[in-house]
Amino acid sequence: MTPDPPERALLGVASVGKSFAGIPVLQDVSFTADRGEILMLVGENGAGKSTLKNILSGLIAPDSGAVHFAGRTLAALSPADADRLGIGTIHQELSLFENLSVAENIHLPRLPQRFGRVDRKRMEAQSRAVLQDRLGAAIDPWTPVEELSLGERQMVEIAKAIHRSSSLLILDEPTTCLSLPERARLFDAVRRLRDHRYAIIYITHFMEEVYELADRITVLRDGRVVGGGTPRDMPQEALMRRMVGRDLAELTTVPAAVADDAPVMLEVDRLGDGVAVHEVSFCLHAGEILGLAGLMGAGRSEVAELLVGLRHGEGRVTLAGRAFVERSPRMALERGLVLVSEDRRRDQAFLNRAVRENLSAAMLPVVASGPLGLLALDRERQAAEQAAMTFHVDHPGLEAFMLALSGGNQQKAIVGRWLQRAPRVCILDEPTKGVDIGARAEMHRLIREQAAAGVAFLLISSDLPEMMALAHRVLVLHKGRIVGALSRAEAEAHRILALASTGRVS
Partner 1 sequence: MSGRWRPLTRVGAQVWSLVAVLALVSVGFASLSDRFADLDNLRNVLLQAAPTMIGAVGMTLVIAARGIDLSIGAIANLALALALLGAGTRSEAALATDTTWLVYPIAIASGLALGTLNAVATNVLRLSALITTLGTLTLYRGLGLHITAAGLIAVRGPILAFGRAQLWGIGVPVFAAVLMAVAGWVFLSETPTGRRLLAVGGSPRSAVETGLRTERLLVVAYAASGLCGAIAGLILVGRVGVVNPDLGYGMEFTVITAVVLGGTSLFGGRASMFGTVLASLLLTTIDNGMTLIGADPYAYDVVRGVILLIAVSADAASAHMRSRRSPVIPELRA
Query: Would you give the DSSP letter of residue 434?
Result: T
Least separation, in Å, of the C-beta of 246 and partner 1?
25
* Distance (Å, whole) CA 438 – CA 408: 8
Q: Judged by CB under 8 A, does residue 460 bind partner 1?
A: no
Looking at beta carbons only, is 107 or 285 nearer to partner 1? 107
Which H helix or E strand runs over 482? strand 481-487
**Does 281 engage in binding with partner 1 (CB under 8 A)?**
no
Does 113 bind partner 1 (CB under 8 A)? Our answer is yes
Nearest distance in Å: CB 99, partner 1: 4
Q: From CA 190, how far away is CA 78, in angstroms rounded?
A: 25
Beta bridge partners of 369: 374
- For 178, phi and psi rounded to 5 degrees? -95, 150
- Between CA 157 and CA 165, with CA 163 as vertex, the angle to 5 degrees is 100
Shortest Å, Cβ 79 to partner 1: 5
- Does 166 contact partner 1 by CB under 8 A? no
* Residue 286: φ, ψ to 5°: -60, 135
Residue 379, SS3 per DSSP: helix
Phi, psi of 183 (to 5 degrees): -65, -40
Contact 62, 78 (CB under 8 A): no
Using the minimum distance from each CB to partner 1, give the nearer residue, 190 or 225.
190
Minimum distance of partner 1 from residue 355's CB (angstroms)? 31
Which of 51, 127, 165, 175 is the binder for partner 1 (CB under 8 A)? 175
Measured CA to CA in angstroms, residue 187 lies from 9, 136, 209, 224 at distances of 24, 11, 9, 27
- Residue 183 makes contact with partner 1 by CB under 8 A: yes
101 touches partner 1 by CB under 8 A:
yes
Does the protein bind partner 1 through residue 506 (CB under 8 A)? no
CB of 182 to partner 1, least distance (A): 7
Terminal-residue alpha carbon distance, the chain:
44
Report in angstroms how near the CB of residue 406 gets to partner 1 at its nearest: 23
Contact 306/392 with Cβ under 8 angstroms? no
**Three-state secondary structure call for residue 376:** coil
SS (H, E, C) 25-67: EEEEEEEEECCCEEEEEECCCCCCHHHHHHHHCCCCCCCEEEE
| Closest CB 50 distance from partner 1, rounded Å | 13
10-18, 171-179, 251-259, 447-455 -> range binding partner 1 (CB under 8 A): 171-179
Residue from 235, 263, 274, 297 binding partner 1 (CB under 8 A):
297
Q: Which is nearer to partner 1, 294 or 408 (CB)?
A: 294
Task: Return the number of the residue (118 or 310) whose C-beta is nearest partner 1.
Answer: 118
Is residue 340 within 8 Å of 427, Cβ to Cβ?
yes
Looking at the Cβ atoms of 53 and 335, the one nearer to partner 1 is 53
Q: Is 76 in the site for partner 1 (CB under 8 A)?
A: no
Site stretch for partner 1 (CB under 8 A), options 237-245, 247-255, 377-385, 457-465: 457-465
Binding mask 48-67 for partner 1 (x = CB under 8 A): -----------x--------
User: What b-and-e string marks burial along 41-70, b requiring 16 or more CB atoms within 10 Å of the CB?
Assistant: bbbbbbbbbbbbbbbbbbbbebeebbbbbe
111 makes contact with partner 1 (CB under 8 A): yes
Q: Which residues, numbered 195-254, are part of the site for partner 1 (CB under 8 A)?
A: 206
Task: Give dist(CA 477, CA 148) in Å, integer.
Answer: 24
Residue 98 binds to partner 1 (criterion: CB under 8 A): yes
- Give the other-Cβ count within 10 Å of 265's Cβ: 25
By beta-carbon proximity to partner 1, the closer residue of 82 and 426 is: 82
Find the binding residues for partner 1 in span 475-504 (CB under 8 A): 493-494, 496-497, 500-501
Sign of CA dihedral 133, 82, 44, 455: negative
Residue 147 found at the interface with partner 1 (CB under 8 A)? yes
Other Cβ atoms less than 10 A from the Cβ of 38: the count is 24
Part of the chain binding partner 1 (CB under 8 A), chosen from 11-19, 136-144, 376-384, 394-402 = 136-144
- DSSP label of 133: I
Site size toward partner 1 (CB under 8 A) is 61
Angle of helix 437-452 versus helix 407-419 axis, rounded to 10: 10
CB closer to partner 1 out of 93 and 378: 93
Q: How far is the CB of 128 from partner 1 (least distance, A)?
A: 11
Instruction: State which of residues 35, 120, 134, 191 lies at the interface with partner 1 (CB under 8 A).
Output: 120
Closer CB to partner 1, residue 79 or residue 245? 79
Cα distance between residue 205 and residue 209, in whole Å: 8
Q: Which residue in 20, 75, 95, 487 binds partner 1 (CB under 8 A)? A: 95
Length of the chain: 506
Residues of this chain that interact with partner 1 (CB under 8 A) are 59, 79-80, 83, 89, 91, 93-101, 104, 108-111, 113, 116-118, 120-121, 124, 140, 142-144, 146-151, 160, 175, 177-180, 182-183, 206, 293-297, 462-465, 493-494, 496-497, 500-501
